[in-house]
């Protein structure tokens, strides 16, 4: 990774980069890489932490993500706009305790913490907007 400064003349042509966006299913992570599969061909691709970035906290097995590939190497991974995740840890909601804005922190199955309404309990599945990290609604089972 280094930057090279090069000036091109108006008549010169530049080879186009072979960059494609593909929908892939998230399979699993092994610590170093996250693995994705094309559902139609079953081809698998490993994306490193730099490609996955902040989206890693939203990845759940079987979810469809958008991968940007350059020469079959993942450059970026975009999780779905909305994910359904199970609440693994949260404080019980206290009736009438709305001084803090009516919400409480909840840890989800991927380890991410989001603010949820007081009525959400451990074990419930909730829909979260991955672009903002905000609670959207209870998910239907």
Question: Does residue 46 register a pLDDT over 80?
Answer: yes
Q: Can you list the positions of beta strands (E) in the chain? A: 19-29, 33-37, 44-48, 64-70, 73-78, 82-90, 103-108, 113-117, 125-129, 134-138
**CA 26/CA 124 separation, integer angstroms:** 22
For residue 14, tell me if it sits in a domain. no
Model confidence band, residue 97 (pLDDT cutoffs 50, 70, 90):
low
Which band of pLDDT confidence, cut at 50, 70 and 90, is reported for residue 96? low
CATH value at residue 42: 2.40.50.140
| Res 31: pLDDT | 85
Give the residue-averaged pLDDT of 104-124: 95
State the total domains in the chain. 2
90, 126: one domain = yes
Q: Which two tokens stand for residue 115?
A: 């603010």
Q: For residue 67, how far is the Cα from the chain centroid?
A: 11
> Predicted confidence band at 4 (pLDDT cuts at 50, 70, 90)?
confident
Residues 68 and 38 in one domain: yes
- Examine the fold and report which residue of 78, 97, 125 is the final residue of a domain before the chain moves on: 78
């Amino acid at each position: 990774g280094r930057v090279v400064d090069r000036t091109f003349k108006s008549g010169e042509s530049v080879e186009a980069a072979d960059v494609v966006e593909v929908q892939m299913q998230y399979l699993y992570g092994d610590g170093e890489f996250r693995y994705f599969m094309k559902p139609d061909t079953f081809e698998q691709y490993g994306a490193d932490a730099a490609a996955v970035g902040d989206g890693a906290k939203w990845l759940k097995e079987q979810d469809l993500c958008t991968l940007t590939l350059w020469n079959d190497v993942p450059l970026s991974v975009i999780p779905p706009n909305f994910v359904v995740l199970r609440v693994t840890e949260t404080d019980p909601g206290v009736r009438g305790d709305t001084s803090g804005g009516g919400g409480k922190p909840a840890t989800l199955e991927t380890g991410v913490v989001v603010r949820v309404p007081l009525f959400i309990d451990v074990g419930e599945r909730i829909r979260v907007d991955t672009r903002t990290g905000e609670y959207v609604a209870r998910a239907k089972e």
